[in-house]
Amino acid sequence: MRSQTLGVLILASGGCLLNAPARAAQVTAPAPDPTRGAITAPLEVTRTKHLAVQVRINGQGPFRLILDTGAPLSFVSGRLAAKVGLIKQEAANRPAFFGMRGQSVLKSVDIGGAAVKDLGVMILDHPIVQALEQVDAPLDGIIGFSFFARYRTTLDYQAGKVTFLPVKYVPEDVMTGILARLSNPGVTQTRGIAPAALWGFDIEKKDAGDETAGVRVSRVYPGSAADAAGLRKDDRLLTLDGRWTESASDTWEAAARVKPHQETVITVRRGEEELELRVRPRAGL
């Protein structure tokens, strides 16, 4: 048996992760210095109601990127990658399947003094980001979990600022983990919980001969949204938000459709009893 951690693992541009390179850049960037004080940077609410920040990358910029607490990793556009020398301009101009142009490592990423070195990123012309900039202004990617998990991040919409307080937590390379599991289904364990739309429970992969409805809950994280809703280890998850959960992929797909803080009904079988639990998945760690 192997556990599958439940969270949103796939970006909005359907299936783009399945077309990523076979090898991932296995880089774990060092954590910011937790002895430093809080760092404050300007925060922009765009016309489309997304959050944008000014980012210096490899000492160049600033570039305008979305700060997204729902993104499990960070990515930059081919346009930005060419400007900072990650790829050649000819490569940025060529069409790419799903906009995917591979992976790279940014030597430095700085948002108003909150800096991370050696940050692994995807080079991706994300169709949603491209659509957003058509009604707003140029956007060159997304700053996601791989960056902001290193800080206690506070958003102040009224004041138009974001505050970063360094912490000791260093997230694993999310993309490396995803690709390893796609290329090696024999992996027997999953580390950590995916960010945003964070439910807080693991499910067990079904054996080929398991014909019982639903999937078994193998772990409930203390203090999580699932724990607060009353979910227990060994419950059999039958549906999530009205969708059948007969496999890990069914469960991920159902969970990916639920927005953070949206109250969602899950149906479980506990012994001979069938229960409905109401869960509000959280926006991040």
Check residue 141 and give its pLDDT.
93
Cα 52 from chain centroid (whole Å): 17
Check residue 254 and give its pLDDT.
83
Is the Cβ–Cβ distance between 115 and 107 less than 8 Å?
A: no
Residue 190 pairs in a beta bridge with none
Closest by Cα among 262, 32, 43, 14 to 146: 32
Residue 257 pairs in a beta bridge with none
pLDDT in tens, the chain (285 residues): 444 444 333 333 333 333 333 333 444 455 555 556 899 999 999 998 899 999 999 999 999 999 998 888 899 999 999 999 999 998 888 887 778 888 889 999 999 999 999 988 889 898 888 888 888 889 999 999 889 888 998 999 889 999 999 888 777 665 555 555 555 555 444 443 343 468 888 888 888 778 888 999 999 989 889 999 999 999 999 999 888 888 887 888 788 888 888 899 999 999 999 999 999 988 754
CA distance 198 to 221: 11
Check residue 102 and give its pLDDT.
85
CA distance 5 to 285: 14
Check residue 22 and give its pLDDT.
34
Check residue 66 and give its pLDDT.
94
Check residue 28 and give its pLDDT.
45
Check residue 284 and give its pLDDT.
57
